[in-house]
Amino acid sequence: MRASRLVSLLLLLQSRGGQTAAELARELEVSVRTIHRDVDALSASGVPIYADRGPHGGIRLVDGYRTRLTGMTADEAEALFLSGLPGPAAELGLGTVVAAARLKVLAALPTELRARASRLVERFHLDAAAWYRADEPVPLLGPLSEAVWENERIQIGYDRGDKTVDRVLEPLGVVLKAGVWYVVAGADGQPRTYRASRVTRVTPLHERFERPADFDLAAFWTESSAAYERDTPRISVTLRIAPHGLSRLRGVITDKPFDTLERLDRPDPDGWLHVRVTLDWPNEVVSQILAVGPDCELLEPAELRDLIAAQARRVAGHYDPPTAPSAETVSVQAV
């Protein structure tokens, strides 16, 4: 445990420069006294580390000192190589950069850890996209990412579905969620989320903006995702479904709504199940139930049942055979 903490202390100083003992203690969740003991231990082992006294002092490494990654544990090495997602990196234009970085880290690892990391890459692959999802074209992801990096205002065209609107944005971050790219940007003084595939053009305004010092992209995404799920409109429906139709239902409505499924104790002459389930987006329920197929019947609410019946009749009408002309019509045409 202490060895791991010593490596963490060393890497913190290497990446951030001088730190006070109190700052290091908070970061490593130990006491200030423990930090001072760890500094003494590193110094005794030959690490060029020292402490400056005074209000502007702190614990530092001698300028230019760098450590190899020999303190990395096996689990850390495996996690590092498992976290590399080549698809998203390539979409951001960083595919070759990520590959080069992994090669450098691999070369710096001790022999045993290098072998473990290589075996991991050979045996595990992470694909962040969902099944049956065609890749969304994101041709403007590069310019969007550059604007995020450079703190540069941009004007975009954004396809809202019914029309394309212009927006002036202050890009704050890029997020990949379930294979879909999103841009988080300030608009009208508030951070908002935009789907990158719906951006139709990006025009740099050559104006820098001041990024809010207290903006945390990960925290914003967590909070906004929770609010989105909390505020999503929902409806409770009662279904009559054949037992073998449950897997089909799950595939159509997805796992989270399916987890709300409650079985009802109602007899059925055909041995079908009666269940209650809460579905997202009421305006999509009609198409979802029809997609489950003939092994599912919506019982309640009645208004949705009527809509499904009307939609089914319209669909069936497309497949009705052409009506043969009656004898009376034929005789009229002959005259």
Query: What CATH number is attached to the domain comprising 60?
Result: 1.10.10.10
Answer with the one of 21, 51, 67 that is the final residue of a domain.
67
Which range among 105-109, 161-165, 329-333 shows the weakest confidence by mean pLDDT? 329-333
- The domain of 50 spans 2-67
The CATH number of residue 300's host domain is: 3.30.70
328, β-bridge pairs:
none
Q: Do 168 and 242 belong to one domain?
A: no
Whether residue 197 is contained in a domain is answered as: yes
Provide DSSP, 135-194.
PPP-TTHHHHHHHHHHTEEEEEEEE-SS-EEEEEEEEEEEEEETTEEEEEEEETTEEEEE
Are 243 and 203 within one domain?
A: no
Residue 285 domain-assigned? Answer: yes
CA distances to 23, 69, 88, 129 from 13, rounded to whole Å, are: 11, 14, 31, 37
Q: Assess if residue 112 is contained within a domain.
A: yes
Give dist(CA 272, CA 253) in Å, integer: 19
Per-residue model confidence as pLDDT tens digits over 159-215: 988 899 999 999 999 988 877 889 999 998 899 999 999 999 999 999 999 999 899
Least confident of 51-65, 167-181, 191-205, 268-282: 51-65
In this structure, the answer to whether residues 147 and 200 fall within a common structural domain is yes
Among 196, 230, 264, the domain boundary falls at 230
Q: How confident is the model at residue 68 (pLDDT cuts 50, 70, 90)?
A: low
Euclidean distance between CA atoms 99 and 167, whole angstroms: 35
Q: Domain check: are 33 and 80 in the same one?
A: no
> Of 188, 207, 230, which marks where a domain is finished?
230
pLDDT of residue 19: 86
Whether residue 1 is predicted with pLDDT greater than 60 in this model: the reply is no
The predicted model scores a pTM of: 0.59
Omega of the bond leading into 269 within 30 degrees of 0 (cis): no
**Band of pLDDT at residue 329, cut at 50, 70 and 90:** low
Q: Do the domain assignments include residue 134?
A: no
Residues 192 and 269 in one domain: no
Query: Hey, what are 231's tokens?
Result: 């505020």
Give the number of C-alpha atoms closer than 13 A to the C-alpha of residue 106, restricted to the C-beta side.
16
Task: Say if 239 falls within a structural domain.
Answer: yes
Residue with tokens 């049956």: 132
Q: Average pLDDT of the chain?
A: 83
Q: What percent of the chain has pLDDT over 70?
A: 74
Number of domains, the chain: 4
Q: What is the domain-level CATH number for residue 171?
A: 2.30.30.100
Q: Are residues 148 and 181 in the same domain?
A: yes
If asked whether residues 149 and 112 sit together in one domain, one would say: no
pLDDT at 5: 78
Question: Can you give the pLDDT at residue 48?
Answer: 86
pLDDT at residue 253 above 90? yes
Within a domain: 117: yes
Domain check: are 226 and 245 in the same one? no
Residue 247 confidence (pLDDT):
94
d(CA 4, CA 30): 13
pLDDT digits (tens, 9 = 90+) for 3-22: 667 777 877 887 777 888 88
> Are 226 and 241 in a shared domain?
no
Query: What would the pLDDT profile of 301-325 be if each residue is shown by its tens digit?
Result: 999 999 999 999 999 999 988 776 6
Least confident of 64-78, 126-140, 143-157, 185-199: 64-78
58-72, 80-94, 189-203, 291-305: segment of lowest average pLDDT: 80-94
Name the least confident of 67-76, 200-209, 254-263. Answer: 67-76
- Residue 132 is assigned to a structural domain of this protein: no
Residues 115 and 156 grouped into a single domain = no
> Are 220 and 150 members of one domain?
yes
In the chain, beta strands by DSSP E: 49-52, 58-61, 152-159, 164-177, 180-187, 190-195, 199-208, 234-241, 262-264, 273-280, 296-300
More confidently predicted of 314 and 86? 314
CA distances from 232 to 225, 235, 281 (A): 11, 10, 7
pLDDT score of 243 more than 90: yes
Q: What is the pLDDT of residue 137?
A: 82
CA end-to-end span of the chain, whole Å?
A: 103
**DSSP 3-state assignment of 69?**
helix
Domain membership of residue 130 (yes or no) is no
Find tokens 């234009």 and name the residue: 93
Q: Which residue has the tokens 């004898």?
A: 327
